[in-house]
Structure 1
């Protein structure tokens, strides 16, 4: 593979097509949003084959860029907070600050056009995800607090020799994964309508959720960023994508349920149990080492009454399942999967409220550099997100890729497999030595298969 670099050709800012009344007011953030100020932006992107024609016209990068800008401008009418910027009001007397989105003073969304003298095969063929993929995104290493000065949304369209990559960096204080892919869906729908009258499906819901008696103004107990802002860098990691076919997933689920003498364990719980066990084995942990498996759990449907799926904002908490390396490897797959299943069962409206009320009584901002020890696994994103349903006149994407953001030892990002049908791709981050051990792990590799791409 050649060592070409991404070259930025042009950039501009895209404002909402027209202003909505709600954008004239401060957009207050909920507890689960504010706690995310130190995490990185969300960075995910879709890789498409460059077509010879679009809408019976010869492919033109200029025409594609123009249509993407126009549809983005309309999309921002519905997702107007993303065109704003973070702002902070400080009250020194009370030693607190209020962080919110100022929708009136934002620059709009940044839009970058770049080129890369590589092919789709150069990106997808290597065993490990090549480092150049990180350059397909703006806001490299930016944390959400940087949204005071940086745009809350940045789109980078990179033209390859035979492909087009659309990379989207979005501030994680304003959205979680569910809202992030909801934005993609609406943008794709508007783009495909090509200026025709469109009744957008599932309009975003910006009504902020707070427990009864709280909100909408939630101050943080700080008067200066240095009191809570922190950045983190990770050491050398290998990043590899493993594919699990529908047949492989079904076998794992059947095995986990049989070994647990139940039929309640889900496909994803079974797959997560496999990853947890295999990663702990690959890291060669001592038997008494505490290890966790974390899930990013969507709370929208767990609340009573539930929030709509279209709720925009962070509505996730981490479900943490804990045991020792010796216990985890001393039992079978079903035992590990049943532990994870029980954590999911126990996560209810009551537990979500307890966490949020506790946070409101003593607000804090997560410190990612201290949260993720190298003995555990964090299962992020979801194979349920309809990533491949987003098309921009380029046909179905051939792959999903992510940037540098929010990666560390044991971070696992789940994507739907290209062929659908319940297939799953897992992007796993491990130190080189541990990744080599995982690649030699019999239990893990007997379930993983060669990834299938649509090109």
Structure 2
């Protein structure tokens, strides 16, 4: 038993969970052009907090055994998560490899932290949540130069007589958010059914890379980017400064009534009838509040708002939106990046939210029309805008239905994405009350968070809801 008093965390068990013996043959799966852009990205860290008014001993004796067993059973269907991403040097192609005994790291811990404080919406030190995030086993390099990346780890943290946190860290190259949430909901279904896999018969994952077509020869272009990345792995590995120092994180809720009011304001002036949804107006609202809070402290009288642009990045699910059909149950990556460019003067003006929403809606409509058009420039477009320091990205989506992840303890009390503490993205999920609103999470330094709260509340008040 290892105790870390500073973090108020006690590790009770550390093990690995594998699919049942003999249930999955040795398998290799190629990575398509949709995967390769995600290899260089950081891991996704998602925490699910549940109310659990029982002591730790009760959890260890009655809950933990079935939690592990149901995870094992579910992994035989989602076996790539129990494998590794194999990254050979040029001219090799990356792939996922599962072999007998492949597993997921599984840690059990106990925390004395105040559960209600941990799951609160108000600003808290970002490091408050970090003890509940599992660590993936380290990557390693084989004798023949293949870099091996573990794909998934879990940590279950018990808050005695208060709650449970199911923490996950996973490699985005294995599957996108939709695939991961499909896996999580399948696990909860198997747990609730006491290990009966027939509960999943209508929602088995489709692990078939042949459904992803390559009419434009995108793989060759993406492979060049991949080879550059894999050849540079290990470079610039010196420790860097703690990017989370001085940061706080908070959750902001935009209700359904607020979203409907915003949609009405946008559609009233949107003569081109762009794609204006709750997601679009929420993105616009949070983005503009964020830009205005930055400009309150960073603005210079010499700034030319008509020449300076801010950029917004989000992912669009390509399932059933491409030139070829991709089933909703496809397990893997099928995301297309969408980048929006808007002048600073427009964003910070009186109609900033409306103009931002129109720009985001227009981009979604154009992306749906283009399919894979321009895909060869996806990565370079993102890199170019990221270098300006004015790119804001979205992590997560309300369509992932994170609050439907119910092990039988009820819906999560809170769902958090902690990797935004490092990459500066805005996390987004559906509202926990199920009433059609959206939760947005931000990690900012304390002074900017204070400014953001002020701007956010001012803009909400102006909506008159």
Q: Secondary structure at the match of 2:199?
A: coil
Superposition CA RMSD, Å: 3.5
CA separation of 1:443 and 1:351: change in aligned 2, threshold 3 A = farther
Alignment match of 2:452 (pick from 435, 438, 454) = 438
Compare relative contact order (CA 8 Å, sep 6+) and give the higher one, 1 or 2: 1
CA separation of 1:346 and 1:170: change in aligned 2, threshold 3 A = same
Task: Check whether the contact 2:262–2:463 (CA below 8 A) recurs between aligned residues.
Answer: no
CA separation of 1:322 and 1:207: change in aligned 2, threshold 3 A = same
Q: Secondary structure at the match of 1:102?
A: strand
Pairs within 5 Å for 1:117-196? 117-125=112-120, 127-130=122-125, 131-139=127-135, 148-149=147-148, 151-161=150-160, 162-196=162-196
Q: Does 1:341 align with 2:340?
A: no
Give the gaps of 5 or more residues in structure 1: 450-455
Pairs within 5 Å for 1:45-444? 45-52=47-54, 59-90=58-89, 95-104=90-99, 107-125=102-120, 127-130=122-125, 131-139=127-135, 148-149=147-148, 151-161=150-160, 162-196=162-196, 198-200=198-200, 201-208=202-209, 209-212=212-215, 219-220=223-224, 222=227, 225-227=230-232, 234=243, 236=245, 237-260=247-270, 264=274, 265-284=276-295, 285=299, 286=303, 287=305, 288-330=307-349, 332=351, 333-348=353-368, 350-355=370-375, 371=386, 373-404=388-419, 407-409=422-424, 411-441=425-455, 442-444=457-459
CA separation of 1:224 and 1:168: change in aligned 2, threshold 3 A = closer
**Residue deviations 1:257-310, cap 9 Å, x none?**
224357652121111111222111111154242101222111112212331111
> How many pairs are equivalent?
434
Cα drift, residue 238 of structure 1: 2.9
Task: Check whether the contact 1:24–1:104 (CA below 8 A) recurs between aligned residues.
Answer: yes
For residues 27 and 167 of structure 1, what CA distance do their matches in structure 2 show? Answer: 26
For residues 372 and 224 of structure 1, what CA distance do their matches in structure 2 show? Answer: 17
For residues 124 and 354 of structure 2, what CA distance do their matches in structure 1 show? Answer: 31
Task: Check whether the contact 2:87–2:94 (CA below 8 A) recurs between aligned residues.
Answer: yes
Structure with greater helix share of residues: 2
Aligned residue for 1:453?
none
CA separation of 1:142 and 1:31: change in aligned 2, threshold 3 A = farther
CA separation of 1:239 and 1:197: change in aligned 2, threshold 3 A = closer
Cα drift, residue 404 of structure 1: 3.2
Give the gaps of 5 or more residues in structure 2: none
Cα drift, residue 216 of structure 1: 8.9
**Residue deviations 1:81-136, cap 9 Å, x none?**
1111122334xxxx433221111166411111011112321202472244221221
Q: Secondary structure at the match of 2:88?
A: strand
Task: Check whether the contact 1:239–1:428 (CA below 8 A) recurs between aligned residues.
Answer: yes
Aligned residue for 1:27?
29
Cα drift, residue 174 of structure 1: 0.2
Task: Check whether the contact 1:119–1:163 (CA below 8 A) recurs between aligned residues.
Answer: no
Task: Check whether the contact 1:29–1:216 (CA below 8 A) recurs between aligned residues.
Answer: no
Q: Secondary structure at the match of 2:404?
A: coil
Q: Secondary structure at the match of 1:205?
A: coil
Task: Check whether the contact 1:47–1:166 (CA below 8 A) recurs between aligned residues.
Answer: yes
For residues 301 and 197 of structure 1, what CA distance do their matches in structure 2 show? Answer: 27
Task: Check whether the contact 1:295–1:320 (CA below 8 A) recurs between aligned residues.
Answer: yes
Of residues 380-389 and 417-426 in structure 1, the stretch that sits farther from structure 2 once superposed is 380-389
TM-score, with structure 1 as normaliser:
0.84
CA separation of 1:148 and 1:66: change in aligned 2, threshold 3 A = farther
Cα drift, residue 312 of structure 1: 1.4
Task: Check whether the contact 2:85–2:174 (CA below 8 A) recurs between aligned residues.
Answer: no
